[in-house]
Amino acid sequence: PPVEGLDQGAIELTAREAQLVQMAAQGLTNAQIAERLVLSVRTVESHLYRAMRKLGVNDRRELASLQHAGR
């Protein structure tokens, strides 16, 4: 599914990865995301790691910039 604000082209994120990318780009911490979605922090870290690799970004700042640039 598409991530709001991102021009993904051929990037294929899972629904969960897309959801977590949006939450992380909004500034939520892994612990906050985990609490809201009833997941472990480690699960959140894993999903975000995979999504960030697919998107070619190295940190949350780049993730947020990428999302805002696509709007």
Q: Tens-digit pLDDT profile for the chain (71 aa)? A: 455 555 545 578 999 999 999 999 999 999 999 999 999 999 999 999 999 999 999 999 998 888 766 54
pLDDT given at position 67: 73
Q: Is 21 inside a domain boundary?
A: yes
Q: Is the dihedral of CA 43, 16, 52, 56 positive or negative?
A: positive
Domain total for the chain?
1
The structure's pTM equals 0.78
* Structural domain for 39, as ranges: 15-69
Return the CATH number at 30. Answer: 1.10.10.10
Residues in the chain: 71
Q: Is 36 inside a domain boundary?
A: yes
pLDDT given at position 70: 57
Question: Which residue shows structure tokens 């690799």?
Answer: 53
